[in-house]
Structure 1
Amino acid sequence: MRQKKFYINWWRILIIIVLVSGVFFRFANLEQKPYWGDESLTSHRIAGYTSKEVREVLSQSKIFTVEEVQKYQLPAPEQDLMNLMKKGLRSPLYHLMGRSWMELLSDRVTTPRGVSALMSLLALPCIYLLCWELFESPLVGWMAVSLMAISPLQIIYAQEAREYSMWTVTVLLSCWALLREYSMWTVTVLLSCWALLRAIRVNKTFNWIVYAATLTLTLYTHLFSIIVAMGHGIYLVTEKLTQQKLQLGKKIIPRLLVFTMGFLLFGFGRIASGKGLPSPPCWTGWNRKHCGMSSHTPFPSLAQTWILNLSRVFIDFNDSFSYKNLWFYLPILILVVYSLYFLYRHTQKQVWLFIYTLTGTLGLFLAIPDVILGGQGSTPVRYLIPCYLGIQIAIAYLLATKISSLSQKIWQQKFWQITVLALITSGLLSGAVYTQTDTWWNKYAEYYHSEVAKVVNQTDHALVIAPWFNLITLSHVLASDVVMQDIRSEQKVNFIDKDFNNVFIYKSQKLLDYFLGNYPDYKLKDSYDWKRQTTPVNTTQTKLWHLIKTPTA
């Protein structure tokens, strides 16, 4: 009895350590990582500007200070919430919340990252509620909470000014509301799943209304929520056809009407704002031909990226995939496959079918056209967050069942206890490394902006010439005395004078050649070339040239 009490207390202490660490990792050094392209899009949309408006200003043939560039990432008084909605935002729920947060508390451009961190914390109770609806087991719920609290993937996107933390919450809660009848992307995913399960378990009209509301929130958080919702529809039809023997009129059709209502509310909002549904991104297989992209991504590269992204849910030390460390990913792959098999063998159909549709619908939607048409829609890990939520829940059920089973041999229990500790340790170590590092793989083209800043900021009277979009991202790492200008044609470089002893050209070899040919007073001092393969299908490269003005005779 005393040993059992010690065992329970030990696990409670471990859970507390994990939760405290998860909170710390989400808020530690929130401003340290470079602001990358998508975050800059978020900032100027929250401020009330479209990309076209910002481009027209920054592309002018004039010099901008860091403060002047960042002006277009702060709330504009003339752009209220209604005007913001008319801009046709892809993720209006997150942008409106970020705008309100900046107006009420802080107008710092990094404030949206704080919103994401808070949304990520909301995902923890949401996944517990969802696990309770699925398994009615506190242990499974706490296991899922622990895995999510220190998941490197969740921590990374908790510190990014994008909608993925909110997406998680709303999806989980909508799933919970749906399942409740029958028995804010990370945030919105969890929210919608929770609402779905709740509506299924407790068959009342109110619960279906809650589900419709959470589904609408999910759709307003991320475009790919449409595919997640389709998974809900597949689950509703498949599960009910089995149980009710094709009693469509009494059971399925009313549910599908509520399901459709969520889509109608979403569509009405898009029409009211004067915008239709946005097209899929160009790098997905679905829209590749329309965008004029003809290169084909090899399947081995796709498969390697899928494995790498899957491992980043549990362990991430900012490494890129290579054949040399293939065995490093194998245990995680085996654990995922076995957890899905174990779920199928030991739970009722409505449980494993729900997890399978949550995990597989969006994944297959993106992966199949990539395999056939050669796109890369399934390679950005952030697009597959709902899939990884299902995998985390399956693994949580497996581990909770194994460590609490009395029918297992002692060595089997020890094995699964060690597995739990290994996953928790890998998450804690990953979080510790992440919070102390200047940059991370998810910054993509802006991965080396910290290195650029170290070079530029140590010089005096520096001018940085770069495309207008890079000016926005660079403004977060450059010193306040650095000035910048966009360069879209060589003819715009007509302002160089004696005040600029140091000129930095960012990425453009064509501009460098023009500059050296037309400004003989400037000589090339140093060139920098940083290159890194972040995934098997993505390589980031940053070039920087440092020119100095030589004294005239």
Structure 2
Amino acid sequence: MGTYSNRVKQISRSRWFWPMTLCLLLGILLRCWNLEGKVFWHDEVYTALRVVGYLGPEVEQTLFTGTPFTAERLLEYQTFATGATFGDTVRSLVDHPEHPPLYYLLAWGWVKLFGTSIAGFRSLSVTFSLLTLPALAYFARELFGHHPAVIIAPLLFACSPVQVLYAQEAREYSLWVFLSVLASWALLRAVRLGKRSAWGLYALALALLFYTSVLSALVAIAHGCYGLCILARRRWLVLGGAFLVALLLFLPWLSVIAFQIHRWHTVTAWTLSKVPRIILMKLWGLHFSALFVDPNLSLDHLYTYLVPPLVLICIGIGLYGCLKRFPSRTSFLLLSLVIVPTLALIGGDLFRGSRLSTETRYFLPALMMAQVAIAGWLGGQYLNRRRLVLFGLTGLIGLGLANSVALAKAPTWWSKREGTFSYAIAAAITATHNPIVLTQKESTTLGNLISLSYDLPPETPFQVTYAPNIPALATDNSHTILLFRPSGMLTEAYGCSAEPLPEILALLWQVPCR
């Protein structure tokens, strides 16, 4: 106890203590900043929809009848209805078997306490991101022992742009990162202690990880590869037993997936659309570079060709340095957690012609471990090359904070996808005299309209059509008709040869167009 106390005093007296503390606090504050000011985009809308107990198809059946409804009416589906029960939320979750229920059930309790505002939903993700900081310190301690990396790893995480980005989204990904770190820490601890209780804790953490994302299977496979390569054969059965317990605990949701397999194929069909390989390769690099720098530039910018390769080289050096300096009992787990999920996502897309690897969020556990590897390498160099390490660490933290400030104050970022132009579209609609917004029923229509409604006057009317039904144009000129994300069918029906605003591309058209 005295040794630990002396170590704490030594750290607190260091001239770097207050700068590091300030960086940590800035990372925490950035996660809490401007939560209400960002676009609440399509996927976040569906988070709220499920949590408060609505089914998307039922809402569409109610609203998309061809008659007008208002933005205020749309937003009613983002809060609990009178008489709504916990069972309604469970029913809505079962309708989306691709999303295991843990985050959404926790969110149900959270917004019951703190309300269904945008900040109310997003603050849960912020909380999990903040919990990752101490979890990461414990994980680094288990990996590296008493080592500078125990301090460096949480610092890099606190200032990482991609971690700040997903800490501010009302989705399950910050919980996924937290539980990935927790489960990996529990595995190392169980290997070190060898106690039944430690292995039981690991099995529980792994089960919670499964209940957060189906892609947690990749983390489990990485753990399995680590066990096969590092553990003695007599411990394979123990690790296998922990896997079996975790799978048994996850069996209820596996049953939901089995019964809802047709629904699974329907809602995940978008992942099978092909993306050119050159685009895939650019995105793979950008996933990892976003750990330290994320200027939100186009794929064709020179940055895409220069910075991501440099970051990947640094990550490779970090992994190699950890393998050389630290025991394989710990360092090989880092290597496995970075390589296995990354190769599985990339290889799966190359083999199937799918697009899972275009999504940064699916790489988050691997990105987290790559960052830990960098921390381990920097910490290992600290004693012999202190100035160089401090210079590099200052640069990484400075870049991360600068980019995190930019994305925290921005109303939208690349991760918002359909919501990228939401503010510009809402401003154009609001500036139009007596508008009515007309669109057609597509898979993303409901989410996009609700997202847009957050930034529109509550009385703004919408009208949704089903192909091939096209409403006749009003002849009394009482409304200005705007086409939102119009299909070719709509533009042809109204004879549009539009000149859309350059900042919102062809997402909003005015009728008549000629």
For 1:427-442, list aligned pairs within 5 A.
Answer: 427-442=400-415
1:121 alignment partner in structure 2: 130
1:86 alignment partner in structure 2: 91
Ranked by relative contact order (alpha carbons within 8 Å, sequence separation 6 or more), the top structure is 2
Alignment partners' CA distance in 1, 2:428 and 2:301: 34
1:329 alignment partner in structure 2: 308
1:459 matched to 2:432? The reply is yes
RMSD, matched Cα: 2.6
Question: Is the Cα–Cα contact under 8 Å of residues 147 and 379 in structure 2 kept in the other structure?
Answer: no
Alignment partners' CA distance in 2, 1:137 and 1:232: 24
Write out per-residue CA displacement over residues 366-417 of structure 1, whole angstroms, 9 at most, x where no aligned residue: 11122234322112100000110110100011112222x1xx3xxx432222
Write out per-residue CA displacement over residues 30-70 of structure 1, whole angstroms, 9 at most, x where no aligned residue: 12221222112111111211221122122112212112101
2:276 alignment partner in structure 1: 297
SS at match of 1:10: coil
1:95 matched to 2:100? The reply is no
SS at match of 1:457: helix
Alignment partners' CA distance in 2, 1:214 and 1:496: 59
2:509 alignment partner in structure 1: 545
Evaluate the alpha carbon distance shift between residue 24 and residue 466 of structure 1 in structure 2; reply closer, same or farther with a 3 A threshold.
farther
For 1:226-237, list aligned pairs within 5 A.
Answer: 226-237=217-228
Displacement of 1:420 = 0.6
Alignment partners' CA distance in 1, 2:475 and 2:198: 69
Displacement of 1:488 = 2.2
User: Which amino acid in the other structure matches residue 21 of structure 1?
Assistant: L
Question: Is the Cα–Cα contact under 8 Å of residues 495 and 513 in structure 2 kept in the other structure?
Answer: no
Displacement of 1:253 = 1.1
Q: Which residue among 17, 28, 35 is the counterpart of 1:30?
A: 35
1:67 alignment partner in structure 2: 72
For 1:140-179, list aligned pairs within 5 A.
Answer: 140-179=149-188
Evaluate the alpha carbon distance shift between residue 496 and residue 382 of structure 1 in structure 2; reply closer, same or farther with a 3 A threshold.
same
Evaluate the alpha carbon distance shift between residue 230 and residue 525 of structure 1 in structure 2; reply closer, same or farther with a 3 A threshold.
closer
Evaluate the alpha carbon distance shift between residue 549 and residue 350 of structure 1 in structure 2; reply closer, same or farther with a 3 A threshold.
closer
Evaluate the alpha carbon distance shift between residue 444 and residue 549 of structure 1 in structure 2; reply closer, same or farther with a 3 A threshold.
closer
Displacement of 1:436 = 2.3
Displacement of 1:475 = 1.2
Question: Is the Cα–Cα contact under 8 Å of residues 434 and 479 in structure 2 kept in the other structure?
Answer: yes
Alignment partners' CA distance in 2, 1:425 and 1:271: 47
1:368 alignment partner in structure 2: 347
Write out per-residue CA displacement over residues 156-203 of structure 1, whole angstroms, 9 at most, x where no aligned residue: 1111111000111111111111111xxxxxxxxxxxxxxxxxx22222
Question: Is the Cα–Cα contact under 8 Å of residues 53 and 91 in structure 2 kept in the other structure?
Answer: no
1:264 alignment partner in structure 2: 248
1:41 matched to 2:20? The reply is no
Displacement of 1:492 = 5.1
Displacement of 1:342 = 0.6
Alignment partners' CA distance in 2, 1:98 and 1:264: 24
| TM value normalised by structure 1 | 0.83
Alignment partners' CA distance in 2, 1:393 and 1:373: 31
Evaluate the alpha carbon distance shift between residue 428 and residue 219 of structure 1 in structure 2; reply closer, same or farther with a 3 A threshold.
same
User: Which amino acid in the other structure matches residue 364 of structure 1?
Assistant: L
User: Which amino acid in the other structure matches residue 155 of structure 1?
Assistant: V
**Residues paired across the two proteins, number:** 492
1:104 alignment partner in structure 2: 113
Alignment partners' CA distance in 2, 1:322 and 1:276: 40
Alignment partners' CA distance in 2, 1:331 and 1:238: 30
Evaluate the alpha carbon distance shift between residue 275 and residue 146 of structure 1 in structure 2; reply closer, same or farther with a 3 A threshold.
farther
Q: Which residue among 316, 329, 350 is the counterpart of 2:329?
A: 350
For 1:192-271, list aligned pairs within 5 A.
Answer: 199-240=190-231, 244=232, 246=233, 248=234, 251-271=235-255
Question: Is the Cα–Cα contact under 8 Å of residues 526 and 546 in structure 1 kept in the other structure?
Answer: no
SS at match of 1:49: coil
Evaluate the alpha carbon distance shift between residue 281 and residue 353 of structure 1 in structure 2; reply closer, same or farther with a 3 A threshold.
farther
1:387 matched to 2:366? The reply is yes
Write out per-residue CA displacement over residues 337-388 of structure 1, whole angstroms, 9 at most, x where no aligned residue: 1101111111111112101121122111111122234322112100000110
Write out per-residue CA displacement over residues 508-537 of structure 1, whole angstroms, 9 at most, x where no aligned residue: 1431332359xxxxxx99633547xxxxxx
1:444 matched to 2:408? The reply is no
SS at match of 2:469: helix
Higher helix share: 2
Question: Is the Cα–Cα contact under 8 Å of residues 297 and 375 in structure 1 kept in the other structure?
Answer: no
Write out per-residue CA displacement over residues 193-251 of structure 1, whole angstroms, 9 at most, x where no aligned residue: xxxxxx222221112221111111111111101221122122222221xxx3x3x3xx3
SS at match of 1:236: helix
Question: Is the Cα–Cα contact under 8 Å of residues 490 and 514 in structure 1 kept in the other structure?
Answer: no
Alignment partners' CA distance in 1, 2:259 and 2:125: 26
1:313 matched to 2:291? The reply is yes
1:338 alignment partner in structure 2: 317
Question: Is the Cα–Cα contact under 8 Å of residues 293 and 403 in structure 2 kept in the other structure?
Answer: yes
Q: Which runs of 5+ in 1 are unaligned?
A: 181-198, 518-523, 532-540
SS at match of 2:466: coil
Which range is displaced more, 251-260 or 266-275?
266-275
Alignment partners' CA distance in 2, 1:24 and 1:296: 37
Alignment partners' CA distance in 2, 1:19 and 1:59: 48
For 1:404-423, list aligned pairs within 5 A.
Answer: 405=383, 408=384, 412-423=385-396
Alignment partners' CA distance in 2, 1:549 and 1:367: 44
Displacement of 1:149 = 0.5
Displacement of 1:9 = 3.0
Alignment partners' CA distance in 2, 1:491 and 1:41: 27
Displacement of 1:8 = 5.9
Q: Which runs of 5+ in 2 are unaligned?
A: 1-9
For 1:480-499, list aligned pairs within 5 A.
Answer: 480-489=458-467, 491=469, 493-494=471-472, 496=474, 498=476
1:514 matched to 2:493? The reply is yes
Displacement of 1:452 = 0.5
Which range is displaced more, 208-217 or 497-506?
497-506
1:505 matched to 2:483? The reply is yes
Evaluate the alpha carbon distance shift between residue 304 and residue 142 of structure 1 in structure 2; reply closer, same or farther with a 3 A threshold.
same
1:534 alignment partner in structure 2: none
